[in-house]
């Protein structure tokens, strides 16, 4: 079964000065993502898996796939713990 990374639906988000600001309507927690985090966030469109997001990162940055995969996995896990992202079993849409 394929998995995909899904953004929460009670979030506000805007790119400010090249970095993504995320704000949760549920608990007012706020996150400012760096450039790489912003790229991961934008790639997490509800249809891509962690592996597919790592591929996007490899295409955009000079990074090997193992490093990209580790970075994406860590990023998704940390935002999932905050309730901002989740990993779903099937692609949305």
Instruction: Please give the helix or strand (H or E) that residue 71 lies within, else none.
Output: helix 65-81
Between 29 and 78, CB nearer to another protein: 29
Reduce the DSSP state of residue 34 to 3 states and report it. coil
Measured CA to CA, the distance from residue 53 to residue 55 in angstroms comes to: 5
> Site residues for another protein, window 6-65 (CB under 8 A)?
9-17, 19, 21, 23-25, 28-32
Between 19 and 55, CB nearer to another protein: 19
Q: At its nearest, how many Å lie between another protein and the CB of residue 34? A: 11
Number of residues that bind another protein (CB under 8 A): 19
Instruction: Please give the helix or strand (H or E) that residue 55 lies within, else none.
Output: helix 50-60
Q: At its nearest, how many Å lie between another protein and the CB of residue 25? A: 4
């Amino acid at each position: 079964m394929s998995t995909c990374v899904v953004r929460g639906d009670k979030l506000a988000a805007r790119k400010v000065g090249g970095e993504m600001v995320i704000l949760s309507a549920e608990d007012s927690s706020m996150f400012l993502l760096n450039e790489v985090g912003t790229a991961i966030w934008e790639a997490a469109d509800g249809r891509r898996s962690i592996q597919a997001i790592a591929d996007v990162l490899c295409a955009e940055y000079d990074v090997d796939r193992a490093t990209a995969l580790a970075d994406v996995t860590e990023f998704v896990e940390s935002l999932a713990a905050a309730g901002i992202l989740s990993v779903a079993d099937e692609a949305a849409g």
